Amino acid sequence: MNKAALYLRLSKEDVDKANKNDTSESIVNQRLLLTDYAIEHDFSIVDIYSDDDYSGLYDDRPEFDRLIQDSKLGKFNIVIAKTQSRFTRNMEHMEKYLHHDFPLLGIRFIGVVDGVDTQNASNKKSRQINGLINEWYCEDLSNNIRAVFRQKMKAGQFLGAFAPYGYLKDPDDNHKFIIDEYAADVVRKIYSLFLDGYSVQSIAHHLEDEKILNPTNYKKSLGLHYENKQSNEFSIKYGLWSTTTIKRILANETYIGTLIQGSCAKVSYKDKKVVAMPKENWVIVKKHHEAIIDEDIFYKVSKLRTQRRISHINQGKDKKVHIFAGKLKCATCGHTMIKSGGVRGKKDDWYLRCQLANKSRLKQCTSHNIKFSVLQENVHTRIKDIVNMVLDNAEHFEEIAEIVANCNEEKILQNEKKKLHDVNIKIEEITKSVKVLYLDRLQQNLDEDMFFQLKREFETELKTLNEKKKQLECEIERINHDLSLQVDINDVVKRHTDYSVLTHTIVNDFIDYIEVGERNKQTQEQEIIIHWNF
């Protein structure tokens, strides 16, 4: 007697389902249909394999996988399904199993409703046509679903399964967020610690010492069935905070009220692999929900994260960067000023020098050596002068503005825009030249070797120009953003009217960056140029 395996499947797209957590009526109907067919044809039923809520596009279905494994063990010689599409909707898998693996194993496949029977060689073409139709159906369905999802995203509907850390789904509307005050306070703490000079590793240690659950464990504590595939074993097992999690929180625009979706997408409807999408494909909805972090704080943190910040306290949870970390540049070459050694007899002082000079052993730039204490005193004095002028006499505002005005940014912006204009003209010229090149080749005015040589040269130049265009556009966007964030000097002074020592907050509020010049060997004078935030 022939031994048969019955395969049943229902996908998430099927509409004739009962309750989500129950075996559906459709599965029950399939079971009855296939059982009757097996009895009618005198087949012995060895086992029944049933996948509920699984797409036929993929072969990583648990019961399907068990069926394939049992087929290799010779447990049956017939596989019966309602239709070929219930077995698989993937053309590649159809060819692999129905026309390759099963025949080699001596297994016959039968589709009860659509008449598929691999024992009948004459209907192979119809099976392949059905396979194509099934795949086209999946492709169309996938495209339609993507289009609908994108429209929902543009309408500001959140489509994720879980709200970002710091928020909860609104019980009245699952497409919106409400603030989770406990988690939101943790987010605010992370931003505050970072602005206060703590490294991301040190922030993680602070949170662990305070017994604060990491986002994955916190969501589980709320009773949510949340799994984070990117979590490492230490985060899951021991509840540790990873530096990656801290960095993501510091870079997440969700916390200023912006909803970003569509940043990742599947490579293909036939593949579950997800890849990052270019920013121009993202769906961004501003002011979608209540912010946890103020925009000025968020962008201040963003700017600091792009700068080189190296800790000078090397032990324990209080590992911090010095107050000028990431803000010091060599006035000659523009490279970062780094710590180069301590000052003898002074535990809390050290020298700073040009990174390029240090790495090139003074071949590419000079050292620009300066004591941290000297720099700190100079900056402290100049900030105090500004604060005193503002507080003493409002008439000095014009004088102050002249001291701190950052007109260079506007000049740089105009210069970058001119560069972009020139690059766009050049791209247009090369594009026209390529068209002429093809026309000359078509009219046989160019031989083949010359055509391909010129074509390669044009393509190389065009690639370089497009990369430069992208860089210029990013730089223009950054400068425009910086200009939009320029603050009123009066507001900054009001926040810091009385202080005795410089802090990270004061330096971040007042200063964009500092350029350190080389010391004059004759006069021993050293220029310190402060670029203010105003």
Asked if residue 107 lies in contact with residue 71, where contact means CB atoms within 8 angstroms, the answer is: yes
pLDDT of residue 325: 86
**In Å, what is the CA distance from 2 to each residue of 49, 78, 79, 474?**
17, 7, 11, 68
The model's confidence at residue 393, banded by pLDDT at 50, 70 and 90, is low
Domain boundary among 305, 339, 364: 305
Q: How far apart are CA 78 and CA 76, in angstroms?
A: 6
Buried b (16+ CB within 10 A) or exposed e, 269-302: bbeeeeeeeeeeeebebeebbebbbeeebbbbbe
- The SS3 of residue 181 is helix
Indicate if 244 and 334 belong to the same structural domain. Answer: no
Q: How far apart are CA 374 and CA 370, in angstroms?
A: 7
In a domain, 319, yes or no: no
pLDDT of residue 201: 87
Question: 312 pLDDT exceeds 60?
Answer: no
pLDDT of residue 292: 96
Indicate if 122 and 135 belong to the same structural domain. Answer: yes
pLDDT digits 0-9 by tens, 259-292: 999 888 776 656 667 778 887 888 999 999 999 9
Domain with 186 in it:
167-305
pLDDT digits 0-9 by tens, 89-104: 888 888 889 888 999 9
**In Å, what is the CA distance from 344 to each residue of 2, 5, 245, 448, 519?**
91, 83, 39, 72, 20
Domain boundary among 121, 153, 185: 153
Indicate if 140 and 55 belong to the same structural domain. Answer: yes
Indicate if 296 and 373 belong to the same structural domain. Answer: no
Query: CATH number of the domain that 190 lies in?
Result: 3.90.1750
DSSP 12-51: TT-S----TTS--HHHHHHHHHHHHHHHHTT-EEEEEEEE
Indicate if 60 and 102 belong to the same structural domain. Answer: yes
In a domain, 320, yes or no: no
Q: Within 10 Å of residue 357's Cβ, how many Cβ atoms?
A: 24
Indicate if 261 and 195 belong to the same structural domain. Answer: yes
Question: 307 pLDDT exceeds 80?
Answer: no
Query: CATH number of the domain that 8 lies in?
Result: 3.40.50.1390
Number of domains in the chain: 4
In a domain, 220, yes or no: yes
Indicate if 402 and 444 belong to the same structural domain. Answer: no
pLDDT of residue 54: 86
Q: Within 10 Å of residue 168's Cβ, how many Cβ atoms?
A: 17
Q: Within 10 Å of residue 15's Cβ, how many Cβ atoms?
A: 5
For residue 217, what are its two tokens?
A: 């464990």
Indicate if 363 and 257 belong to the same structural domain. Answer: no
Indicate if 358 and 442 belong to the same structural domain. Answer: no
DSSP 319-341: -BB-TTTTTEEETTT-PBEEEEE
pLDDT of residue 499: 74
**Strands 337-343 and 271-276: what pairing?**
unpaired
pTM: 0.56
Question: 534 pLDDT exceeds 80?
Answer: no
Average pLDDT value for the chain: 83
Q: How far apart are CA 233 and CA 231, in angstroms?
A: 7
In a domain, 315, yes or no: no
For residue 323, what are its two tokens?
A: 């107050």
Domain boundary among 245, 274, 305: 305
pLDDT of residue 331: 93
Question: 23 pLDDT exceeds 70?
Answer: no
Question: 181 pLDDT exceeds 70?
Answer: yes
Question: 192 pLDDT exceeds 90?
Answer: yes
pLDDT digits 0-9 by tens, 208-244: 999 999 998 899 888 887 777 666 556 666 778 988 8
Residue 161's closest CA among 217, 250, 228? 228
- The SS3 of residue 365 is coil
- Please report, rounded to a whole number, the percentage of residues in the chain having pLDDT higher than 70: 85
In a domain, 311, yes or no: no
pLDDT of residue 313: 45
In a domain, 439, yes or no: yes
Indicate if 265 and 289 belong to the same structural domain. Answer: yes
Asked if residue 2 lies in contact with residue 44, where contact means CB atoms within 8 angstroms, the answer is: yes
Beta partners for residue 341, in sequence order: 351
The model's confidence at residue 316, banded by pLDDT at 50, 70 and 90, is very low
pLDDT digits 0-9 by tens, 126-166: 777 776 777 776 667 667 777 788 888 888 899 888 999 99
**In Å, what is the CA distance from 511 to each residue of 196, 334, 368, 523?**
15, 17, 20, 27
pLDDT of residue 38: 93
Indicate if 179 and 290 belong to the same structural domain. Answer: yes
* Cα angle for residues 319, 323, 326 (degrees, 5° grid): 90
In a domain, 159, yes or no: no
Question: 399 pLDDT exceeds 90?
Answer: no
**Strands 511-516 and 328-330: what pairing?**
parallel
In a domain, 160, yes or no: no
**How would you class 106 by CB atoms within 10 Å of its CB: exposed for 0-12, middle for 13-18, buried for 19 or more?**
exposed
pLDDT of residue 290: 94
Q: Which residue has the higher pLDDT, 304 or 308?
A: 304
Residue with tokens 């693996």: 101
pLDDT digits 0-9 by tens, 53-82: 888 878 789 999 999 999 999 999 999 999
Indicate if 456 and 497 belong to the same structural domain. Answer: no
- Please report, rounded to a whole number, the percentage of residues in the chain having pLDDT higher than 90: 33
Q: How far apart are the first and last CA of the chain?
A: 89
pLDDT of residue 271: 64
pLDDT digits 0-9 by tens, 457-504: 888 898 889 888 888 887 787 777 666 655 566 777 777 777 778 888
pLDDT of residue 488: 62
- Sheet of 3-10: strand order equals 44-52, 3-10, 78-81, 108-111, 116-117
Q: How far apart are CA 174 and CA 41, in angstroms?
A: 51
Q: Please state the rounded mean pLDDT for residues 419-424.
A: 90
Least confident of 69-83, 335-349, 441-455: 441-455
Q: How far apart are CA 245 and CA 234, in angstroms?
A: 13
